[in-house]
Structure 1
Amino acid sequence: MRKLHLKNENYQYLEASFKEWLDILGYAESTVYNLPNHIRELLYYLEQNNINHIKQLDNQIIKEYYNCLKLRSNDRKGGALSNGSLNKHLQALYKFTDYLRQNGRIILPKLTIDWEQDDTGTIETLTPQEVKLLYKATRYYPRNVKHAKPEYFFEAIALRDCAILTIFYGCGLRRNEGYHLQVNDINFDRQILHVRKGKANKERFVPINKMNLNYLEEYVYDGRPILIKDKTESAFFIGERGKQLMAQSIAIRLKILQQRTDDIVLQEKNVRLHVLRHSIATHLLANGMPLENISRFLGHTSLESTQIYTHLIAQQDENL
């Protein structure tokens, strides 16, 4: 990060206020630290170009600044900034303009700067067929073998693993959202899942289709009561020891399902919980769901965060 010093007191205040805004919204500590540092570069650019009041800022100036950013060197590694670094600056720009709008400081049209293709490769997703293989793998539990636990215990584990796929794929929850999920957060009558504390402390309601509702009902009413020891436990996911299943253990269960499949291509993929979320987003978009609906479904704070899936669909089409 470049060590830039702002002389404009109004810009100093804006940077501090933006940081406080991110903190109040509940963003991660690293985000609260890094995004204002990126915005300091924008404010420094304004100073150097005699743009001394934030109300003079417009989208054209932001685009000119971003083009300069793409040309400047990486202070630590040399060469140009990586696409990943540029995307972090873009994230800061999109959030900063949101901050300016919401605080009434300046009303800017939505930015239309495309995200850079990630240097590490495209976003990993699964095909619908691969997702079906994971669901099928939940039924591959030990049978006709002497274990310390009876067969119905492993049947309960299978129902729980199926519920894991349903929450993170079928409902598109983030890892922490799924980990903190409570039994009472699912309203089976209304077919709605309540995410009480999503990213940036935002809550949302996620619709559940009939098939996914059946999977969740089977776990809650048939599987979970077998696993749980303390009847007062409110956590949705229960582990083999009868207590809340930890986030890392949920991720491990997904890896186990992946290895149970007989699909070599699937087994070689880096399947993570967030890959399930990416997958449902691309599948919904490919099936014609409007981008705005997918954005609400995922709990994105802005439509720009969802637009990455349109680029992903386009890349997949080009590879066909």
Structure 2
Amino acid sequence: MKKLKLNNAGFEYLELAFTEWLDILGYNKGTVYTMGAVVREFLYFLTSRSVVHISQLDTPHFKQYYQYISTRSNQRKGGALSLNYINKHIQALEKFNEFLTHKTGTSITMNVRQIKYNTKPITVLTQAEIKQLFTLTQQDRITERETALQSRDAVILVIYYSCGLRRNEGVHIELNDINLDTRILHVRKGKKYKERLVPISQHSAKILEDYIYNHRPILLKSNTESRLFVSYYGKPCTGGTLYRCLQKLIYRSENPELAEKEVGLHTLRHSIATHLLQNGMELQKIQRFLGHSSLESTQIYTHLTEEV
């Protein structure tokens, strides 16, 4: 895609304006690049259909492009393109269509939807397994720094299990997003940049307070660092760093059943949603807690509770 030449000044400007718009919205560089590349391929496709100005764009063009990528071969591996790859194209075009609506005030119906396909089964930890992980974060450690890192592990469980945050939501939490007096966590960078307020339990608030005031300063290299999670070297933690911390905690549990499960940060979010439903919380309340746009996304947990 990156080798395509548009040879159309208007389309080149649109691609640049679209990527700048994504950047302003706060999308990461990888997503901006990928979506920009998809839009470039789409615009290139339009020129092959004698569309030379964006005002000529209409619903059939989206359908024609969908048919094109659905039948196009994988140039590197051979065979057809994966469903995930096709869905990423559709996601990018949905965002591009939103950009065009924002820019021109004219909305175009795409009539093209992402393909639903079977994904990996969702892994859920039991409440006993969650309790065991929390217990591991309370063990006596030899050094002050080890104790600080263990306190951070407890906060990982608080943010991703007790508060049910998504991976990137937790990574971007800053100290001023947490109000320990009101016990409210402000998620500012949620999915599709939707904000929400998440309640913090009294027990979780104590764990957060202990880490923020007693242990996090030991890890810091700079007093200006605002991120909640900081690494051994005092830098902001990435999602990969937090994932590895969780894996080490699972290894320390010496629990063979837990070790066999495919566990990530999002597993903790799935687990709290399932446990809340098992404990009788209404589905609509769980939807608001998780920040789901639709109740349909939350309903998957009704099936999980039948299996657990």
Q: Distance between the aligned counterparts of 2:42 and 2:188, measured in 1? A: 35
Task: Rate the CA distance shift 1:276–1:141 in 2: closer, same or farther, 3 A.
Answer: closer
1:55 touches 1:106 (CA, 8 Å); kept in 2?
no
CA deviation after TM superposition for structure 1 residue 66, in Å: 0.7
Structure 2: state its 5+ residue gaps: none
Report the equivalent of 1:86. Answer: 86
Structure 1: state its 5+ residue gaps: none
Q: Distance between the aligned counterparts of 2:115 and 2:303, measured in 1? A: 14
CA deviation after TM superposition for structure 1 residue 244, in Å: 6.5
Structure 2 residue matching 1:139: 3-state secondary structure? helix
Matches within 5 A, 1:145-164: 148-149=142-143, 160-164=152-156
Report the equivalent of 2:57. Answer: 57
Matched, 1:288 2:280: no
CA deviation after TM superposition for structure 1 residue 71, in Å: 0.5
Among the aligned pairs, what percent are the same residue? 35
Report the equivalent of 1:220. Answer: 208
1:182 touches 1:234 (CA, 8 Å); kept in 2?
yes
Task: Rate the CA distance shift 1:81–1:65 in 2: closer, same or farther, 3 A.
Answer: same
CA deviation after TM superposition for structure 1 residue 261, in Å: 4.3
Matched, 1:188 2:180: yes
Q: Which amino acid aligns with 1:213?
A: S
Report the equivalent of 2:250. Answer: 258
Q: Distance between the aligned counterparts of 1:41 and 1:284, measured in 2? A: 44
CA deviation after TM superposition for structure 1 residue 316, in Å: 6.5
Q: Distance between the aligned counterparts of 1:99 and 1:105, measured in 2? A: 9
1:185 touches 1:195 (CA, 8 Å); kept in 2?
yes
Q: Deviations over 1:141-169 (max 9, x none)?
A: 686x8x6359xx85x76664332112123
CA deviation after TM superposition for structure 1 residue 81, in Å: 0.9
Q: Which amino acid aligns with 1:91?
A: Q
Structure 2 residue matching 1:194: 3-state secondary structure? strand
Q: Deviations over 1:168-193 (max 9, x none)?
A: 23334344543443333212344421
CA deviation after TM superposition for structure 1 residue 92, in Å: 1.2
Matched, 1:134 2:130: yes
RMSD between superposed Cα atoms in Å: 4.3
2:159 touches 2:170 (CA, 8 Å); kept in 1?
yes
Report the equivalent of 1:68. Answer: 68
TM-score, length basis structure 1: 0.71
Structure 1 residues 132-141 or 22-31, which shifts more?
A: 132-141
Task: Rate the CA distance shift 1:18–1:278 in 2: closer, same or farther, 3 A.
Answer: farther
Q: Distance between the aligned counterparts of 1:204 and 1:158, measured in 2? A: 29
Out of 161, 164, 180, which is 1:169 matched to?
161
CA deviation after TM superposition for structure 1 residue 113, in Å: 0.5
Q: Which amino acid aligns with 1:219?
A: I
Task: Rate the CA distance shift 1:5–1:280 in 2: closer, same or farther, 3 A.
Answer: farther
TM-score, length basis structure 2: 0.74
Q: Deviations over 1:105-161 (max 9, x none)?
A: 53134755023537xx52x643252x6513322213686x8x6359xx85x766643
Structure 1 residues 32-41 or 7-16, which shifts more?
A: 7-16
Structure 2 residue matching 1:103: 3-state secondary structure? helix
Task: Rate the CA distance shift 1:56–1:191 in 2: closer, same or farther, 3 A.
Answer: farther
Matches within 5 A, 1:34-53: 34-53=34-53
1:185 touches 1:193 (CA, 8 Å); kept in 2?
yes
Q: Distance between the aligned counterparts of 2:90 and 2:60, measured in 1? A: 14
2:287 touches 2:298 (CA, 8 Å); kept in 1?
no
Q: Distance between the aligned counterparts of 1:270 and 1:77, measured in 2? A: 28
Q: Deviations over 1:8-40 (max 9, x none)?
A: 433232222212212222322222222122112
Structure 2 residue matching 1:207: 3-state secondary structure? strand
